[in-house]
Amino acid sequence: MKEMDKNTKTFENIKHIDENGIEFWYARELQIVLNYKEWRKFDGVIEKAKLACQNSEINVFEHFVDVDKLSKRANNAQVRINDYKLSRYACYLIAQNGDSRKKVIALAQTYFAVQTRKQEINEKEYTSLTEDEKRFYQRNLTRKGNYSLNQAAKDAGVKNFDKFHNSGYKGLYNGETADDIAKRKGLRYREDILDNMGSDELIANLFRISQTEQKLKKDNIQTEKEANITHYNVGAKIRKTIKELGGTMPEDLPTPKKSLKQLEKENNKSLENNKK
């Protein structure tokens, strides 16, 4: 874990922010962090990543932006070299096409694919993710959403947060509480139900979370009772919408074979084994 934290910090350290607040990475700097000594070899990985981007019908030029740089030689002479400004998605594709024998490549895959906490990805990029990557992405959004919802609920007078969150679950899951959902999914005591949902189920809950936060603020809810009723009603209306659209009820969606905690644990174990 220490090595993973160290490399994650390094990926953060070489991140840049442009004038529009968009994050990007320079390929030349990423090359060094990923332990590629020769630009020629790393440029080959970039070309594979660009092809993968093209095959996903995503605009290559939006994610791999050609730039020129001046570089100093040993004799202080300056030469112009080519480089790329890379999006997080481009870095992810590079990591996916990198030398899998390098330990840092696995770390890069985790950082750029799983920990997408600071980037909103577009529809085509999202579609290209695996189901587990979609789960990590949506779970991260629900985690941030619940944090904001809790702040709004607190301002509305909520003190019993378990009851407040169960009100939302009851509305969305036809009367089921968090404990009921956990039992139905066959989870262990206190195991996180959100970590055991597929991406579609997480999206339904994210909608419940965001809409409840907005309604608490918009209606200026001031009592715990009103907040609980609001959360229930939002969940129930989302459930009704799913039904009207002919969608699958959230309780009928399949539970993934592995929780996100288990996937993280397995990934970390794999990283530790690669270090040996």
Specify the pTM.
Answer: 0.59
Note the pLDDT of residue 94: 92
Query: Which range has the worst mean pLDDT, 6-15, 101-110, 250-259?
Result: 6-15
Q: What is the DSSP string of 170-217?
A: HHHTTT--HHHHHHHHTPPTT--SGGG--HHHHHHHHHHHHHHHHHHH
Note the pLDDT of residue 120: 54
> Does pLDDT of 273 surpass 90?
no
Rounded to 5°, the CA angle 83-86-87 comes to 170
Greatest mean pLDDT among 23-27, 198-202, 259-263: 198-202
Mean pLDDT, the chain, whole residue set: 86
> Does pLDDT of 1 surpass 50?
no
Note the pLDDT of residue 114: 52
Cβ-based neighbour number of residue 150 at 10 Å: 16
CA distance linking residue 47 with residue 154, whole number of Å: 50
- Note the pLDDT tens digit of each residue in 143-182: 888 999 999 999 999 999 999 999 999 999 999 999 999 9
Domain spans, the chain? 2-128, 131-266
The contacts of residue 149 (CB under 8 Å, 6+ apart) are: 209, 210, 212, 213, 216
Q: Take residue 56 and report the two structure tokens written for it.
A: 């996903």
CA distance linking residue 36 with residue 24, whole number of Å: 19
Residue 81: band (very low, low, confident or very high) from pLDDT cuts 50, 70, 90: confident
Note the pLDDT of residue 4: 45
Residues comprising the chain, all counted: 276
Instruction: Give percent above pLDDT 70 in the chain.
Output: 86
Overall average pLDDT of the 99-107 stretch: 79
Q: How buried is residue 65: exposed, middle or buried, by Cβ count under 10 Å (0-12/13-18/19+)?
A: middle
> Does pLDDT of 85 surpass 80?
yes
The larger pLDDT score, comparing residue 112 to residue 169, is at 169
Q: Which helix (H) or strand (E) holds 13?
A: helix 2-13
Overall average pLDDT of the 232-247 stretch: 93
